[in-house]
Structure 1
Amino acid sequence: MDVVYSHVCGLDVHKKNVVACVITPQAKEIRTFSTMTEDLLSLLDWIKQHGFTHVAMESTGSYWKPIYNLLEMEGLQTLVVNAKHIKNVPGRKTDVKDAEWIAGLLRHGLLQGSFIPNREQRELRELIRYRRSLIEERAREVNRIQKVLEGANIKLSSVASDILGKSGRAMLEAMIAGETDAVVLSELAQKRLKNKKPELIKALNGLVGPHQRLMLQAQLRHIDDLDALIQQLDEEIKRRMLPFEEDLERLDSIPGVARRTAEHILAEIGTDMTQFPSAAHLCSWAGLAPGNHESAGRRKSGRTTKGNQKLRSTLVEAARSVARMKETYLSSQYHRIAARRGANRAAVAVAHRILTIVYHLLKRKQTYIELGPHFYEERKRQHVVKQAIRKLEALGLKVTVEEVIQPA
C-alpha cells in the first residue's frame, strides 16, 4: 500500500499509561508514558522532536481527552478513531502491537477520525449533559417520594397530577411537620385542586411513620438543592448560547423542540453543517438510521445503528412530546407509523425526521414551515389520481380531470 503520511504516531491509551509508536521513513520507535500531565507533556515534546504531523488514537472512554487537549493546543492533526473501526486481526494482543497497528493504519491513510467539536463547544456540551443528568436525578427523586407516599398509604398522585406543585408541596411539608388529619391537609389545596376535596380527603388518609417523615424531608431538601444547581447551570448555558440565538429560535419553531432541547441539539452537533455530508449522515451519526444486515439475499435485523446516545435520547423524547400534539405534520407521521409499527418505532422515525429538519434549517438558515396534518393524505391523493390517469391513457382514452368543490 502507498504511504500517505511519512511521519505518524499511534497511541494506545489507557487509564494509567499510554503506549506511543512513532514511524518515520528511517525507523520505528515505541515508548510508554504515564497519563499524568507532566508525563503527557514529555510525550508531546517527544512527538514534536520527531517532526510528526499526524497522530491517531482510540476513543477509549474519556481517557483520550487529556491527550487530545494538549495535542490540540499544539495544532497537531489528531484523529480520535472509533475502536470498532480499527480492530486488529485475532491473535496475540499487546499494548505495543495495538500502538503499532494504529500507527500503520494511519501511515497508509486508512483511518477516519470521529467528529470532535472545538473546545468551546465541548465545554458547552459538558455543561448541558451535566444539566440533563441533574434533571434526570430530580425525576428519580420525585419517584422516590411517590414510593414513600405509597408505603404510607397516601394516594396523593391519584388525585393531583403533580405531587410537587404548590398544593402538593404544602401538603408534604405539613405531613413532615406532623399533621395527620386528612381534612386539614385537604384544606391546603389551591386553584383547581380545591374542586377535588372529597377525593383528596380519601387520598390523604394514611399512616405516615417517623422514618417516612425523615425520608420525605431529606428528599425535598435534595430536590431543592437540585433545582438550585439546575438554575445555576441554566444561567451559564444561556450566557454561552447568546451567539446562537437565531439558530435556537429556528429550532424552537419545530413542534416538540423546546428551548432546552434546542440547546442540547446545538451543543451536540454545532451550527456548522458542512462537517456532515448529508442529513442521512448526521442521522446515522446520532444512531437514528436503520441498520443494514442482509445475508444470502434475505434482509435480517434492521436495528438502528449505534451513535450519539445523548442526542438520540433527546430527540426521541421530543418525538414523544410531538405525539401529544394535534394538527401538525410530525404528529400525523407519528400516529400513522405507530398504528402499524408500534409506538417505539414511531418515536425513532419521528426523531429521525426532526433531526433531518434540524440539518436543513441550520444549513439553509431558514425557519420551520408547517406542512399540516393532511400532508401525507394529500400527497397520496395526488399519486392515486396520476396513476389512474396513466392507466386510462394507456387504454387509448383522453382524460380531463376537474375538481369538484365540496359544499360547506
Structure 2
Amino acid sequence: MQVLYERCAGLDVHRDTVVATVRSPGKRRGSRSTQTRTFRTTMRALAELSDWLACESVELVGMEATGVYWKPVFTSLEDRFTCWLVNAAHLRNVPGRKTDVADSVWIARILECGLVRPSFVPVQEFRELRDLVRARTAVSQERVRVIQRLEKVLQDAGIKLTSVASQVWSKTSRAVLEALLEGVTSPVELAALAKGRLRSKREALEEALEHRFRVEHHGVIVRGLLAHIDSLEQRLDAYDAEIAARLAPHEEILELIRTIPGVGLKVAQVMAAEIGLDMSAFPTSAHLASWAGVCPGNHASGGKRKGGRSRPGPKWLKVALTEAAWGAVKAKDTYLSAHHKQIAGRAGGYKAIGATRHDIVVAYWHIVHDHVPYRDLGPDWAARRFSPAHRAKRLTAQLEALGYDVTIEPASAPPA
C-alpha cells in the first residue's frame, strides 16, 4: 500500500503509560523501519517522548481518543508536531492481536497510509473555553438536582408550594424557607411573604403552607440544601464572568450568532466553545452538520436504503441546540417555526426538532464564515420556493447558463 507519510508515529495512550511506535524508511529500498518505546505520562516523560520523536524526524503523530488521557499528551506535542486525534472506532485491529505494542504499531501503520482521518480538535483557546462552558453546564445541572431534592423535603413536610406556584425555587419560596428556619409556623404569616403574582393567590397559598415542618429534622436538611444552592450560584456567577471575559474579543461575532431565533447568550457561548469560530475546519455547512450529528446518516446496501440514523455528535452541543430549537419553534412568523410545523405534520415532533437543530447549525456556519447576520427566509418560504414564478426563474437561469437567450411570455388562454 502506498505510504503517504514517510515518518510518522502512533501512540497508544493510557492513564499511566503511552506506547509510541515510529515508522520510518528502512535501510533497504522500499522497506520500513519500526521502533517502539514506552513512556510514562508525567510531564517530564512526555518531554522525553517529544525529544525522541524530534530526533526521529517525525512529521505526523496520531493517537486514539482515550477518555481524557489523550489531552496532556496532545497538548505536550502539538507545538512541535502535526498531531491527529483519531476516533477509536476507526482503529479496530484484527481480533486476537490486542496488546499495547500491537495497538501502537497498528495506529502507526494505518496512519502512514492515510487510512484514517483526524477528529476535529479546536485550538487551545477554545479548548479551555469549552472546559469552562462544560463546567458551568455541569454546575447548573447540579443546581437543578439540589432544587429537586429541596422539593422532596418540602413534600415530606406537607408543604404543597408547587401546587400553587409554578416552580419550587423563587424569591417567595426562599423567603418562606428562611421564615420556617427561624421558627415561623403560621401559614398566614408565611403566605404574607408572597411576592409578585403569588400575592393574588393568598388563600390557596395559606392552605398549601399548612405543614408539619420540624426545624430539628427538616430544618437541618433544608439549611444544608440552601447553603449548597448558594455556593453553586456563586460558582455560576464566577464561570459567567470568566466566560464573558474570554469571549470579549469575539463580542461582534457573538452578537451576529444571537440573531438566530432561539439562540440566546448562553447558547451562543456554548456553540462558540464547542464548534469554534474558525470555519476552515468545515469546508461547507454540510460538513459541520455531519460533525455535529444533526443530519441523517447513510446506511444503504444493494440499492436499498436501510435507515438514516444520525451519528452521535457532541452531547454538550446537542443539548444547547435542542434548547435553541425549542425556543425557535415558539417564535411567530419565522422560517424556523414554519419549517418545524411542516415536518412535524408528516414526520412527528422529534424529527422536526432535529431538522430545526440542523437549520440552526447551517445558519451558524454561514454567519461565522461570512460575518453576516441571520437572514430569515420567512414563513412562506416553502410556498415561494415551489411557486410557478420561482420555478420559471430557476429554469431560465439554467438555460441562460447553457448559452441561450430566454424570453418568457405567459401562455394565452385557450379558446372557449
TM-score scaled by length of structure 1: 0.90
Equivalent residues of 2:385, 2:391 under 8 A apart: no
Q: Deviations over 1:375-405 (max 9, x none)?
A: 334445558997xxxxxxxxxx9356xxxxx
Matches within 5 A, 1:258-273: 258-273=264-279
Q: Deviations over 1:339-388 (max 9, x none)?
A: 333322222211111011010111111111233333334445558997xx
Confirm or deny that 1:71 pairs with 2:80: no
Q: 1:117 aligns with which of 118, 122, 129?
A: 122
Structure 1 residues 234 and 342, CA gap change in structure 2 (3 angstroms)? same
CA distance in 2: counterparts of 1:349 and 1:224, whole angstroms: 38
Equivalent residues of 1:163, 1:169 under 8 A apart: no
Aligned to 1:362: 368
Equivalent residues of 2:14, 2:66 under 8 A apart: yes
**Deviation of residue 336 (structure 1)?**
2.8
Aligned residues: 389
Structure 1 residues 40 and 384, CA gap change in structure 2 (3 angstroms)? closer
**Deviation of residue 256 (structure 1)?**
0.7
Matches within 5 A, 1:32-181: 32-73=38-79, 75-181=80-186
Gaps of 5+ in 1: 387-396, 401-408
Letter in 1 for 2:247: M
Aligned to 1:24: 24
Letter in 2 for 1:36: T
Structure 1 residues 384 and 67, CA gap change in structure 2 (3 angstroms)? closer
CA distance in 1: counterparts of 2:160 and 2:390, whole angstroms: 54
Q: 2:249 aligns with which of 243, 252, 255?
A: 243
Moved more, 126-135 or 149-158: 149-158
CA distance in 1: counterparts of 2:67 and 2:246, whole angstroms: 26
Letter in 1 for 2:232: L
Aligned alpha-carbon RMSD (Å): 1.9
Aligned to 1:340: 346
Equivalent residues of 1:124, 1:237 under 8 A apart: yes
Aligned to 1:186: 191
* SS of 1:24 mapped into structure 2: strand
Letter in 1 for 2:349: A
* SS of 1:52 mapped into structure 2: coil
Equivalent residues of 1:293, 1:301 under 8 A apart: yes
Aligned to 2:220: 214
Equivalent residues of 1:288, 1:351 under 8 A apart: yes
Confirm or deny that 1:301 pairs with 2:307: yes
**Deviation of residue 38 (structure 1)?**
1.7
Moved more, 280-289 or 155-164: 155-164
Moved more, 340-349 or 15-24: 340-349
Equivalent residues of 1:20, 1:99 under 8 A apart: yes
Letter in 2 for 1:372: G
Matches within 5 A, 1:324-403: 324-380=330-386, 382=388, 398-399=411-412
**Deviation of residue 337 (structure 1)?**
2.4
Structure 1 residues 297 and 203, CA gap change in structure 2 (3 angstroms)? farther
Equivalent residues of 1:333, 1:350 under 8 A apart: yes
CA distance in 2: counterparts of 1:383 and 1:158, whole angstroms: 56
**Deviation of residue 92 (structure 1)?**
2.0
Equivalent residues of 1:287, 1:309 under 8 A apart: no
CA distance in 2: counterparts of 1:91 and 1:302, whole angstroms: 32
TM-score scaled by length of structure 2: 0.89
CA distance in 2: counterparts of 1:372 and 1:202, whole angstroms: 49
**Deviation of residue 159 (structure 1)?**
1.5
Letter in 2 for 1:358: Y
